[in-house]
Amino acid sequence: MNDIVDVLSKILAHLAIDAEEFRHAKTLLCQVVQENLSKLSSALHAAQRREEIWMEDIDPTSKFYLGILFYERSLSVPQDCFKATSYLNAILNAGKSEANYYLGMMRKFGNGRSQCNIAAFEFFNAGTRANDPKAMSQLALFCFTGTGVEVNPFGGIALAEQAADAEDPIGLSVLSYHKLYGYHTNKNPFLAFKLSEKAVEKGNRRAKMNLAVCYMNGVGVEHDAPKAVRLWTEAVEAGGYACMLNLPECYVKGRGMDVDWKKSASIYKSGSDITVLFFVQ
């Protein structure tokens, strides 16, 4: 309220009125602002109470799906992470452990609450204890990068393997990457190809990058440059910026396509400020 009064007081100060009229106008102004803020506060409180009563009447499963609906912008519903947090916290308190993953993601990215990797880790850890493969995959990523927890790559591999066994797309993609390059685990190109292929079937964009590397270099599968290029192109078009080194290199060297320096330069320029994670070996 003070901010509103200050702004309007400055307007009054520019008017041709004497000091007494100014004090009187400011007093009236404060009264009007206070009355309207009180009405607004009462209306918001009443609306909040109606929502609380409504929430008490619906079952935990419905609250869970409402939380996901508001978090993921499903069915053209505008994203509302504050509502999502409210619903998911309510059903988490009712014992539905699947909410841990979504609450963890919101704390990881600062949606609806302040960003906090330690809090995100706790949610993912709780979800992992409840055998939620989505939470396992996120916890694996945290272990690899030391986000919210000490770096533990071998713990990350174990979690990624569990998530992949449950066919979680991120778990499949993460494990395929490590099997492809032999990071913190035995290198296994054939398994890397199979895991990447399954992750792509489940819609994971990053797995397309791994699968393209397999096809381009004949790793775990017969060499197929045109197919690798198609996969990298699809990944870039879907926002997979890590492919923005692989794909232009193909245009420069004519790997799976005709040489096109202009196209290569265009892609390099688009991804010039993106950290490249995957390289053609």
The owner of tokens 């404060």 is: 30
Give per-residue pLDDT as tens, 111-123.
878 899 999 999 9
Domain harbouring 150, CATH code: 1.25.40.10
Which residues constitute the domain of residue 85?
61-166
Q: What is the pLDDT of residue 93?
A: 80
Give per-residue pLDDT as tens, 25-41.
666 666 665 665 565 55
Q: Could you tell me if residue 236 is inside a domain?
A: no
Q: Could you tell me if residue 20 is inside a domain?
A: no
Q: Could you tell me if residue 71 is inside a domain?
A: yes
Opening angle at CA 73, ends 72 and 79, nearest 5: 100
Q: What is the pLDDT of residue 243?
A: 46
Give per-residue pLDDT as tens, 243-272.
445 555 555 455 545 545 455 445 444 444
Q: Could you tell me if residue 118 is inside a domain?
A: yes
Extract the residue ranges of the chain whose pLDDT is less than 70: 1-59, 73-77, 238-281
Q: Could you tell me if residue 277 is inside a domain?
A: no
Q: Could you tell me if residue 124 is inside a domain?
A: yes
Q: Could you tell me if residue 271 is inside a domain?
A: no
The domain tally of the chain equals 1
